[in-house]
Structure 1
Amino acid sequence: MAEDERRIALLIDADNAPAAKVDVILAEVARHGAANVRRAYGDWKSPNLKPWEATLHEYAIRPIQQFAYSKGKNASDMAMVIDAMDLLYAGTLDAFAIVSSDADFTPLVMRILTEGLKVYGFGQRKTPEPFVNACSQFTFVEGLGQEPDTPDQSSLKPVPSNKLRGDARLVLMLRNAVDAAAGDDGWAHLGPVGSQIGNQASFDPRNYGYRKLTDLIDAIDLFDVKRQDKVVLVRDKRKS
Protein backbone atom coordinates (compact mmCIF):
# COMPACT_ATOMS: atom_id res chain seq x y z
CA MET A 1 0.00 0.00 0.00
CA ALA A 2 1.31 3.43 -0.96
CA GLU A 3 1.98 5.75 1.98
CA ASP A 4 -0.56 8.32 0.80
CA GLU A 5 -3.24 5.57 0.94
CA ARG A 6 -2.52 4.56 4.53
CA ARG A 7 -5.37 5.20 6.97
CA ILE A 8 -4.32 6.93 10.16
CA ALA A 9 -6.19 7.71 13.38
CA LEU A 10 -5.14 11.07 14.82
CA LEU A 11 -5.84 11.08 18.57
CA ILE A 12 -5.11 14.28 20.50
CA ASP A 13 -4.75 14.66 24.25
CA ALA A 14 -5.94 18.28 24.27
CA ASP A 15 -4.85 18.80 27.89
CA ASN A 16 -1.25 18.09 26.91
CA ALA A 17 -0.99 19.43 23.36
CA PRO A 18 -0.76 22.96 21.89
CA ALA A 19 -3.68 23.96 19.66
CA ALA A 20 -1.42 26.35 17.74
CA LYS A 21 0.55 23.41 16.31
CA VAL A 22 -2.34 21.37 14.90
CA ASP A 23 -1.87 22.62 11.33
CA VAL A 24 1.76 21.55 11.12
CA ILE A 25 1.03 18.28 12.93
CA LEU A 26 -1.63 17.47 10.33
CA ALA A 27 0.88 18.32 7.59
CA GLU A 28 3.33 15.86 9.13
CA VAL A 29 0.68 13.16 9.42
CA ALA A 30 -0.18 13.71 5.74
CA ARG A 31 3.36 12.64 4.85
CA HIS A 32 2.52 9.17 6.15
CA GLY A 33 -1.09 8.85 4.97
CA ALA A 34 -4.60 10.24 5.42
CA ALA A 35 -5.96 11.12 8.87
CA ASN A 36 -9.36 9.48 8.37
CA VAL A 37 -10.09 9.62 12.10
CA ARG A 38 -9.50 12.92 13.92
CA ARG A 39 -10.42 13.17 17.58
CA ALA A 40 -9.41 15.43 20.47
CA TYR A 41 -10.11 14.49 24.08
CA GLY A 42 -10.72 16.77 27.05
CA ASP A 43 -13.22 18.48 29.30
CA TRP A 44 -14.41 21.07 26.79
CA LYS A 45 -16.09 23.10 29.51
CA SER A 46 -12.68 23.86 30.98
CA PRO A 47 -11.36 27.37 30.18
CA ASN A 48 -7.92 25.84 29.63
CA LEU A 49 -9.17 24.32 26.36
CA LYS A 50 -10.61 27.58 25.00
CA PRO A 51 -7.78 27.95 22.39
CA TRP A 52 -8.93 24.68 20.81
CA GLU A 53 -12.42 25.81 19.83
CA ALA A 54 -11.64 27.41 16.47
CA THR A 55 -9.04 24.75 15.67
CA LEU A 56 -11.51 21.89 16.05
CA HIS A 57 -13.88 23.32 13.45
CA GLU A 58 -11.18 24.48 11.04
CA TYR A 59 -9.51 21.07 10.80
CA ALA A 60 -12.59 18.86 11.18
CA ILE A 61 -11.43 17.38 14.48
CA ARG A 62 -14.15 15.72 16.51
CA PRO A 63 -14.15 16.83 20.17
CA ILE A 64 -14.71 14.00 22.63
CA GLN A 65 -16.15 15.30 25.87
CA GLN A 66 -14.84 13.66 29.01
CA PHE A 67 -15.76 14.93 32.47
CA ALA A 68 -13.29 14.66 35.33
CA TYR A 69 -15.21 12.25 37.53
CA SER A 70 -12.72 12.47 40.39
CA LYS A 71 -10.17 15.08 41.30
CA GLY A 72 -6.60 14.33 40.27
CA LYS A 73 -7.58 11.63 37.77
CA ASN A 74 -7.31 12.22 34.04
CA ALA A 75 -10.49 10.75 32.57
CA SER A 76 -9.55 12.02 29.11
CA ASP A 77 -6.56 9.67 29.02
CA MET A 78 -8.78 6.71 29.80
CA ALA A 79 -11.31 7.65 27.12
CA MET A 80 -8.55 8.07 24.56
CA VAL A 81 -7.03 4.67 25.36
CA ILE A 82 -10.44 2.94 25.17
CA ASP A 83 -11.17 4.54 21.79
CA ALA A 84 -7.71 3.63 20.51
CA MET A 85 -8.23 -0.02 21.43
CA ASP A 86 -11.66 -0.05 19.78
CA LEU A 87 -10.15 1.39 16.62
CA LEU A 88 -7.29 -1.09 16.76
CA TYR A 89 -9.62 -4.10 17.06
CA ALA A 90 -11.81 -2.81 14.21
CA GLY A 91 -8.87 -3.55 11.90
CA THR A 92 -9.57 -0.69 9.50
CA LEU A 93 -6.45 1.40 10.20
CA ASP A 94 -2.83 1.24 9.14
CA ALA A 95 -1.29 3.58 11.74
CA PHE A 96 -1.94 5.88 14.68
CA ALA A 97 -0.78 9.45 15.36
CA ILE A 98 -0.87 10.32 19.05
CA VAL A 99 -0.46 13.93 20.14
CA SER A 100 0.49 14.25 23.80
CA SER A 101 3.41 14.95 26.12
CA ASP A 102 2.15 12.43 28.68
CA ALA A 103 4.16 9.25 29.27
CA ASP A 104 1.00 7.44 30.42
CA PHE A 105 0.33 6.56 26.78
CA THR A 106 3.52 4.47 26.53
CA PRO A 107 1.74 1.11 27.19
CA LEU A 108 -0.86 1.99 24.55
CA VAL A 109 1.86 2.67 21.98
CA MET A 110 3.57 -0.62 22.77
CA ARG A 111 0.28 -2.49 22.43
CA ILE A 112 -0.44 -0.94 19.03
CA LEU A 113 3.05 -1.81 17.82
CA THR A 114 2.51 -5.49 18.62
CA GLU A 115 -0.23 -5.51 15.98
CA GLY A 116 2.25 -4.35 13.35
CA LEU A 117 0.92 -0.79 13.06
CA LYS A 118 3.12 2.30 13.13
CA VAL A 119 2.68 4.94 15.83
CA TYR A 120 3.71 8.52 15.10
CA GLY A 121 4.05 10.59 18.26
CA PHE A 122 3.98 14.37 18.61
CA GLY A 123 4.69 16.26 21.80
CA GLN A 124 6.70 18.96 23.50
CA ARG A 125 10.35 18.64 24.45
CA LYS A 126 9.30 17.95 28.03
CA THR A 127 7.82 14.60 26.90
CA PRO A 128 9.37 11.76 28.98
CA GLU A 129 11.79 9.51 27.13
CA PRO A 130 9.81 6.25 27.56
CA PHE A 131 6.96 7.66 25.45
CA VAL A 132 9.33 9.21 22.91
CA ASN A 133 11.32 6.01 22.47
CA ALA A 134 8.24 3.77 22.29
CA CYS A 135 6.86 5.47 19.16
CA SER A 136 7.86 4.43 15.65
CA GLN A 137 8.75 8.09 15.16
CA PHE A 138 8.39 10.93 17.64
CA THR A 139 8.61 14.58 16.63
CA PHE A 140 8.93 17.53 18.99
CA VAL A 141 6.33 20.11 18.03
CA GLU A 142 8.49 23.13 18.90
CA GLY A 143 10.50 22.74 15.71
CA LEU A 144 7.52 22.20 13.40
CA GLY A 145 6.49 25.07 11.16
CA GLN A 146 9.26 27.38 12.34
CA GLU A 147 11.27 29.42 9.86
CA PRO A 148 14.89 30.38 10.59
CA ASP A 149 14.02 34.05 11.05
CA THR A 150 11.22 33.52 13.56
CA PRO A 151 11.66 34.81 17.11
CA ASP A 152 11.56 31.33 18.68
CA GLN A 153 15.10 30.24 17.93
CA SER A 154 15.73 28.15 21.05
CA SER A 155 14.15 24.96 19.70
CA LEU A 156 15.76 25.31 16.28
CA LYS A 157 19.42 25.56 17.22
CA PRO A 158 21.26 22.49 15.91
CA VAL A 159 22.93 20.35 18.53
CA PRO A 160 26.70 20.94 18.08
CA SER A 161 28.92 18.18 16.74
CA ASN A 162 30.67 17.42 20.04
CA LYS A 163 27.34 16.90 21.83
CA LEU A 164 26.06 14.70 19.01
CA ARG A 165 29.14 12.52 19.29
CA GLY A 166 28.67 12.41 23.06
CA ASP A 167 25.18 10.95 22.66
CA ALA A 168 26.03 7.25 22.94
CA ARG A 169 22.52 6.11 21.96
CA LEU A 170 22.51 8.24 18.80
CA VAL A 171 26.02 7.19 17.76
CA LEU A 172 25.26 3.49 18.26
CA MET A 173 21.98 3.79 16.36
CA LEU A 174 23.60 5.52 13.37
CA ARG A 175 26.57 3.15 13.26
CA ASN A 176 24.36 0.06 13.49
CA ALA A 177 22.11 1.37 10.72
CA VAL A 178 25.01 2.18 8.40
CA ASP A 179 26.63 -1.18 9.10
CA ALA A 180 23.37 -3.05 8.41
CA ALA A 181 22.80 -1.25 5.10
CA ALA A 182 26.42 -1.27 3.90
CA GLY A 183 27.80 -3.34 1.07
CA ASP A 184 31.12 -5.21 1.05
CA ASP A 185 32.95 -1.93 0.45
CA GLY A 186 31.48 -0.36 3.60
CA TRP A 187 29.37 2.21 1.73
CA ALA A 188 25.62 2.40 2.36
CA HIS A 189 22.88 4.26 0.50
CA LEU A 190 21.23 6.85 2.72
CA GLY A 191 17.69 5.60 1.99
CA PRO A 192 18.23 2.11 3.46
CA VAL A 193 20.15 3.69 6.36
CA GLY A 194 17.06 5.76 7.20
CA SER A 195 14.90 2.63 7.00
CA GLN A 196 17.23 0.76 9.33
CA ILE A 197 17.09 3.60 11.85
CA GLY A 198 13.29 3.55 11.69
CA ASN A 199 13.36 -0.17 12.49
CA GLN A 200 15.65 0.37 15.49
CA ALA A 201 14.05 3.23 17.37
CA SER A 202 11.99 6.40 17.34
CA PHE A 203 13.98 9.00 15.40
CA ASP A 204 13.53 12.38 13.75
CA PRO A 205 16.62 14.47 12.83
CA ARG A 206 14.62 17.64 13.51
CA ASN A 207 14.62 16.74 17.20
CA TYR A 208 18.36 17.45 17.06
CA GLY A 209 17.88 20.67 15.11
CA TYR A 210 18.65 19.24 11.65
CA ARG A 211 16.16 19.29 8.81
CA LYS A 212 17.30 16.06 7.14
CA LEU A 213 19.20 12.91 8.07
CA THR A 214 22.00 13.94 5.70
CA ASP A 215 22.52 17.19 7.63
CA LEU A 216 22.75 15.31 10.91
CA ILE A 217 25.25 12.78 9.51
CA ASP A 218 27.37 15.62 8.13
CA ALA A 219 27.31 17.37 11.50
CA ILE A 220 28.20 14.37 13.67
CA ASP A 221 31.38 13.90 11.59
CA LEU A 222 31.73 10.18 12.23
CA PHE A 223 30.99 9.12 8.66
CA ASP A 224 32.44 9.64 5.21
CA VAL A 225 29.79 11.08 2.91
CA LYS A 226 29.87 10.72 -0.87
CA ARG A 227 27.36 12.38 -3.19
CA GLN A 228 26.80 11.06 -6.71
CA ASP A 229 24.16 13.07 -8.55
CA LYS A 230 21.09 12.59 -6.30
CA VAL A 231 22.51 9.55 -4.52
CA VAL A 232 24.06 9.95 -1.06
CA LEU A 233 26.39 7.25 0.26
CA VAL A 234 27.75 7.03 3.80
CA ARG A 235 30.51 4.97 5.42
CA ASP A 236 31.74 4.66 8.98
CA LYS A 237 35.07 6.52 9.17
CA ARG A 238 36.50 3.68 11.23
CA LYS A 239 36.30 1.55 8.07
CA SER A 240 37.95 4.11 5.80
Structure 2
Amino acid sequence: MDTEPNNKLAVLIDADNAQPSIVEGMLAEIAKFGTASVKRIYGDWTSNRLRGWKEHLLQYSIQPIQQFGYTTGKNATDSAMIIDAMDLLYTEEFDGFCLVTSDSDFTKLAARIRESGLTVYGFGEKKTPDPFVAACDKFVYTEVLRSEDEKDESTSIDRMSSRELKQDTKLVKLIRNAIEASSDESGWAHLGQVGSYIAKQSPEFDPRNYGYRKLGELVEAVKLFQIEERSTGHGHAAAIYVRDKRK
Protein backbone atom coordinates (compact mmCIF):
# COMPACT_ATOMS: atom_id res chain seq x y z
CA MET A 1 0.00 0.00 0.00
CA ASP A 2 1.50 3.26 -1.21
CA THR A 3 1.56 5.98 1.42
CA GLU A 4 3.76 8.61 -0.24
CA PRO A 5 3.11 12.09 1.21
CA ASN A 6 2.76 13.49 -2.35
CA ASN A 7 -0.16 11.22 -3.19
CA LYS A 8 -3.24 13.19 -4.21
CA LEU A 9 -6.29 12.06 -2.28
CA ALA A 10 -10.00 12.77 -2.63
CA VAL A 11 -11.75 12.90 0.75
CA LEU A 12 -15.50 12.24 0.59
CA ILE A 13 -17.47 12.43 3.84
CA ASP A 14 -20.96 11.06 4.45
CA ALA A 15 -22.23 13.60 6.99
CA ASP A 16 -25.15 11.35 7.93
CA ASN A 17 -22.75 8.59 9.02
CA ALA A 18 -19.80 10.48 10.51
CA GLN A 19 -19.33 12.61 13.62
CA PRO A 20 -17.80 16.12 13.54
CA SER A 21 -15.68 15.25 16.59
CA ILE A 22 -13.36 13.18 14.35
CA VAL A 23 -12.49 15.85 11.80
CA GLU A 24 -9.19 17.07 13.28
CA GLY A 25 -7.87 13.59 14.00
CA MET A 26 -9.12 12.30 10.65
CA LEU A 27 -7.36 14.97 8.60
CA ALA A 28 -4.16 14.42 10.58
CA GLU A 29 -4.44 10.70 9.82
CA ILE A 30 -5.06 11.36 6.12
CA ALA A 31 -1.92 13.53 6.02
CA LYS A 32 0.09 10.36 6.72
CA PHE A 33 -1.20 8.87 3.47
CA GLY A 34 -0.98 11.90 1.19
CA THR A 35 -2.43 15.32 0.42
CA ALA A 36 -6.18 15.88 0.63
CA SER A 37 -6.58 17.69 -2.70
CA VAL A 38 -10.37 17.46 -2.59
CA LYS A 39 -12.45 17.55 0.61
CA ARG A 40 -16.21 17.24 0.19
CA ILE A 41 -18.97 16.44 2.65
CA TYR A 42 -22.48 15.36 1.69
CA GLY A 43 -25.77 15.94 3.51
CA ASP A 44 -28.89 18.04 3.88
CA TRP A 45 -27.45 21.29 5.25
CA THR A 46 -30.93 22.72 5.84
CA SER A 47 -31.36 20.14 8.61
CA ASN A 48 -30.44 20.87 12.21
CA ARG A 49 -28.96 17.38 12.49
CA LEU A 50 -25.79 18.56 10.74
CA ARG A 51 -25.40 21.70 12.83
CA GLY A 52 -22.31 20.26 14.53
CA TRP A 53 -20.52 19.91 11.19
CA LYS A 54 -21.13 23.46 9.98
CA GLU A 55 -18.60 25.12 12.30
CA HIS A 56 -15.84 22.81 10.99
CA LEU A 57 -16.39 23.33 7.26
CA LEU A 58 -14.71 26.73 6.88
CA GLN A 59 -11.98 25.98 9.42
CA TYR A 60 -10.84 22.85 7.57
CA SER A 61 -11.77 23.98 4.05
CA ILE A 62 -14.30 21.20 3.50
CA GLN A 63 -16.79 21.83 0.68
CA PRO A 64 -20.41 21.05 1.64
CA ILE A 65 -22.50 19.37 -1.04
CA GLN A 66 -26.22 19.94 -0.55
CA GLN A 67 -28.57 16.97 -0.82
CA PHE A 68 -32.22 17.62 0.06
CA GLY A 69 -34.16 14.90 1.85
CA TYR A 70 -36.87 14.43 -0.75
CA THR A 71 -38.28 11.33 0.92
CA THR A 72 -38.37 9.89 4.40
CA GLY A 73 -35.98 7.06 5.16
CA LYS A 74 -33.15 6.58 2.65
CA ASN A 75 -31.73 9.94 1.52
CA ALA A 76 -29.89 11.00 -1.63
CA THR A 77 -26.52 11.44 0.03
CA ASP A 78 -25.23 8.00 -0.94
CA SER A 79 -26.03 8.44 -4.63
CA ALA A 80 -24.50 11.91 -4.82
CA MET A 81 -21.32 10.79 -3.11
CA ILE A 82 -20.99 7.75 -5.37
CA ILE A 83 -21.57 9.80 -8.55
CA ASP A 84 -18.97 12.38 -7.47
CA ALA A 85 -16.49 9.62 -6.62
CA MET A 86 -16.83 8.10 -10.08
CA ASP A 87 -16.47 11.51 -11.73
CA LEU A 88 -13.26 12.12 -9.77
CA LEU A 89 -12.02 8.63 -10.54
CA TYR A 90 -12.40 9.21 -14.29
CA THR A 91 -10.26 12.36 -14.14
CA GLU A 92 -7.28 10.08 -13.39
CA GLU A 93 -5.83 12.86 -11.25
CA PHE A 94 -5.89 11.05 -7.91
CA ASP A 95 -3.82 8.33 -6.27
CA GLY A 96 -6.42 7.34 -3.72
CA PHE A 97 -9.75 8.00 -2.05
CA CYS A 98 -10.73 8.46 1.59
CA LEU A 99 -14.32 7.36 2.16
CA VAL A 100 -15.63 8.56 5.52
CA THR A 101 -18.76 6.60 6.39
CA SER A 102 -20.04 3.64 8.41
CA ASP A 103 -22.52 2.70 5.67
CA SER A 104 -22.10 -0.61 3.86
CA ASP A 105 -23.75 0.90 0.75
CA PHE A 106 -20.30 2.16 -0.24
CA THR A 107 -18.78 -1.34 -0.41
CA LYS A 108 -19.16 -1.62 -4.17
CA LEU A 109 -17.72 1.86 -4.66
CA ALA A 110 -14.60 0.99 -2.65
CA ALA A 111 -14.15 -2.22 -4.65
CA ARG A 112 -14.60 -0.35 -7.96
CA ILE A 113 -11.98 2.26 -7.06
CA ARG A 114 -9.49 -0.46 -6.10
CA GLU A 115 -10.14 -2.24 -9.40
CA SER A 116 -8.81 0.90 -11.07
CA GLY A 117 -5.55 0.55 -9.14
CA LEU A 118 -6.14 3.33 -6.62
CA THR A 119 -5.87 3.01 -2.87
CA VAL A 120 -8.97 3.26 -0.71
CA TYR A 121 -8.78 4.45 2.90
CA GLY A 122 -11.97 3.90 4.86
CA PHE A 123 -12.95 5.76 8.04
CA GLY A 124 -15.92 4.63 10.10
CA GLU A 125 -17.18 3.62 13.52
CA LYS A 126 -16.72 0.14 14.94
CA LYS A 127 -20.29 -0.64 13.94
CA THR A 128 -19.24 -0.48 10.26
CA PRO A 129 -20.25 -3.72 8.48
CA ASP A 130 -17.39 -6.08 7.66
CA PRO A 131 -17.92 -6.07 3.86
CA PHE A 132 -17.15 -2.35 3.61
CA VAL A 133 -14.14 -2.69 5.91
CA ALA A 134 -12.78 -5.56 3.80
CA ALA A 135 -13.31 -3.60 0.58
CA CYS A 136 -10.80 -0.95 1.71
CA ASP A 137 -7.00 -1.16 1.58
CA LYS A 138 -6.84 0.43 5.01
CA PHE A 139 -9.67 1.05 7.45
CA VAL A 140 -9.42 3.32 10.48
CA TYR A 141 -12.00 3.14 13.25
CA THR A 142 -12.93 6.70 14.06
CA GLU A 143 -13.18 6.03 17.79
CA VAL A 144 -9.37 6.37 17.92
CA LEU A 145 -9.47 9.78 16.20
CA ARG A 146 -11.63 11.76 18.62
CA SER A 147 -9.84 14.36 20.73
CA GLU A 148 -9.52 13.55 24.41
CA ASP A 149 -12.01 16.22 25.52
CA GLU A 150 -14.64 14.83 23.13
CA LYS A 151 -14.37 11.21 24.19
CA ASP A 152 -16.88 9.64 26.56
CA GLU A 153 -17.34 6.21 28.03
CA SER A 154 -19.04 4.95 24.89
CA THR A 155 -16.24 6.05 22.53
CA SER A 156 -13.07 5.73 24.63
CA ILE A 157 -10.73 2.83 24.00
CA ASP A 158 -9.07 1.45 27.10
CA ARG A 159 -5.63 -0.11 26.91
CA MET A 160 -5.99 -3.88 26.97
CA SER A 161 -3.89 -5.81 29.48
CA SER A 162 -1.38 -8.50 28.52
CA ARG A 163 -3.80 -11.14 29.72
CA GLU A 164 -6.59 -9.77 27.54
CA LEU A 165 -4.29 -9.55 24.53
CA LYS A 166 -3.14 -13.15 24.94
CA GLN A 167 -6.75 -14.28 25.04
CA ASP A 168 -7.48 -12.50 21.76
CA THR A 169 -6.76 -15.50 19.54
CA LYS A 170 -7.42 -13.57 16.33
CA LEU A 171 -4.81 -10.94 17.24
CA VAL A 172 -2.21 -13.48 18.35
CA LYS A 173 -2.69 -15.54 15.20
CA LEU A 174 -2.43 -12.44 13.02
CA ILE A 175 0.87 -11.38 14.59
CA ARG A 176 2.29 -14.91 14.54
CA ASN A 177 1.43 -15.41 10.89
CA ALA A 178 2.95 -12.06 10.00
CA ILE A 179 6.19 -12.85 11.83
CA GLU A 180 6.42 -16.28 10.23
CA ALA A 181 5.86 -14.84 6.76
CA SER A 182 8.45 -12.09 7.26
CA SER A 183 11.13 -13.91 9.27
CA ASP A 184 14.58 -15.19 8.32
CA GLU A 185 15.81 -18.72 9.04
CA SER A 186 16.41 -17.85 12.69
CA GLY A 187 12.81 -16.75 13.15
CA TRP A 188 13.54 -13.00 13.49
CA ALA A 189 11.47 -10.56 11.46
CA HIS A 190 11.81 -6.82 10.93
CA LEU A 191 8.90 -5.07 12.64
CA GLY A 192 8.24 -2.90 9.61
CA GLN A 193 7.79 -5.95 7.38
CA VAL A 194 5.53 -7.52 9.98
CA GLY A 195 3.38 -4.38 9.97
CA SER A 196 3.17 -4.38 6.16
CA TYR A 197 2.04 -8.00 6.13
CA ILE A 198 -0.62 -7.35 8.76
CA ALA A 199 -1.95 -4.35 6.82
CA LYS A 200 -2.45 -6.52 3.73
CA GLN A 201 -4.21 -9.26 5.70
CA SER A 202 -6.37 -7.07 7.94
CA PRO A 203 -7.33 -3.58 6.66
CA GLU A 204 -8.88 -2.60 10.00
CA PHE A 205 -5.86 -3.51 12.13
CA ASP A 206 -4.54 -0.62 14.20
CA PRO A 207 -2.63 -0.80 17.51
CA ARG A 208 -4.79 2.07 18.75
CA ASN A 209 -7.81 -0.24 18.63
CA TYR A 210 -6.20 -2.03 21.57
CA GLY A 211 -5.09 1.14 23.37
CA TYR A 212 -1.48 1.24 22.08
CA ARG A 213 0.10 3.92 19.93
CA LYS A 214 2.59 1.77 18.02
CA LEU A 215 2.79 -1.78 16.74
CA GLY A 216 5.96 -2.43 18.74
CA GLU A 217 4.25 -1.45 21.97
CA LEU A 218 1.36 -3.79 21.22
CA VAL A 219 3.57 -6.73 20.28
CA GLU A 220 5.63 -6.29 23.43
CA ALA A 221 2.49 -6.10 25.59
CA VAL A 222 1.25 -9.46 24.28
CA LYS A 223 4.21 -11.09 26.11
CA LEU A 224 4.39 -13.93 23.57
CA PHE A 225 7.11 -12.44 21.38
CA GLN A 226 10.74 -11.44 21.77
CA ILE A 227 11.73 -7.92 20.76
CA GLU A 228 15.26 -6.88 19.91
CA GLU A 229 16.66 -3.52 18.89
CA ARG A 230 19.56 -3.65 16.46
CA SER A 231 21.82 -0.71 15.73
CA THR A 232 21.93 0.33 12.11
CA GLY A 233 24.91 2.63 12.63
CA HIS A 234 25.62 6.07 11.16
CA GLY A 235 23.33 7.75 13.67
CA HIS A 236 20.16 6.14 12.34
CA ALA A 237 17.43 4.92 14.64
CA ALA A 238 17.70 1.33 15.81
CA ALA A 239 15.85 -1.30 13.79
CA ILE A 240 13.34 -3.39 15.73
CA TYR A 241 13.07 -7.13 15.18
CA VAL A 242 10.58 -9.59 16.67
CA ARG A 243 10.40 -13.34 17.07
CA ASP A 244 7.85 -15.82 18.34
CA LYS A 245 8.95 -17.11 21.75
CA ARG A 246 7.94 -20.59 20.69
CA LYS A 247 10.90 -20.68 18.31
Q: TM-score, normalised by structure 2?
A: 0.88
- Structure 1 alignment gaps of length 5 or more: none
Distance in 1, Cα, partners of 2:116 & 2:210: 30
In structure 2, do the counterparts of structure 1 residues 71 and 101 end up closer, same or farther at CA, with 3 Å as the change threshold? Answer: same
Cα shift readout 1:33-72 (whole Å, capped 9, x = no counterpart): 1000100000111110111112111111111111223221
Q: Which amino acid is 2:116 matched to?
A: E
Query: Structure 1 residue 2: deviation in Å?
Result: 7.2
The alignment partner of 2:143 has SS state of helix
RMSD: 2.1
Instruction: Give the number of aligned pairs.
Output: 238
Distance in 1, Cα, partners of 2:59 & 2:28: 14
- Checking the alignment, whether the CA contact within 8 Å between 2:25 and 2:147 is kept in structure 1 is no
The alignment partner of 1:68 has SS state of coil
Distance in 2, Cα, partners of 1:162 & 1:217: 13
Distance in 2, Cα, partners of 1:76 & 1:123: 16
- Checking the alignment, whether the CA contact within 8 Å between 1:143 and 1:156 is kept in structure 2 is yes
Cα shift readout 1:96-119 (whole Å, capped 9, x = no counterpart): 111112222222222222222222
The alignment partner of 2:99 has SS state of strand
Pick the aligned partner of 2:242 from 222, 234, 237. 234
- Structure 2 alignment gaps of length 5 or more: 232-237
Query: Structure 1 residue 225: deviation in Å?
Result: 1.1
Cα shift readout 1:95-154 (whole Å, capped 9, x = no counterpart): 11111122222222222222222221222232223323332222222222545x987466
The alignment partner of 2:160 has SS state of coil
Q: Which residue of 2 aligns with 1:134?
A: 135
Distance in 1, Cα, partners of 2:177 & 2:109: 28
Distance in 1, Cα, partners of 2:66 & 2:123: 21
Distance in 1, Cα, partners of 2:114 & 2:151: 38
- Checking the alignment, whether the CA contact within 8 Å between 1:143 and 1:206 is kept in structure 2 is yes
In structure 2, do the counterparts of structure 1 residues 155 and 5 end up closer, same or farther at CA, with 3 Å as the change threshold? Answer: same
Distance in 2, Cα, partners of 1:118 & 1:172: 26
- Checking the alignment, whether the CA contact within 8 Å between 2:103 and 2:129 is kept in structure 1 is yes
Q: Which amino acid is 2:26 matched to?
A: I
The alignment partner of 1:5 has SS state of coil
Distance in 2, Cα, partners of 1:55 & 1:61: 8
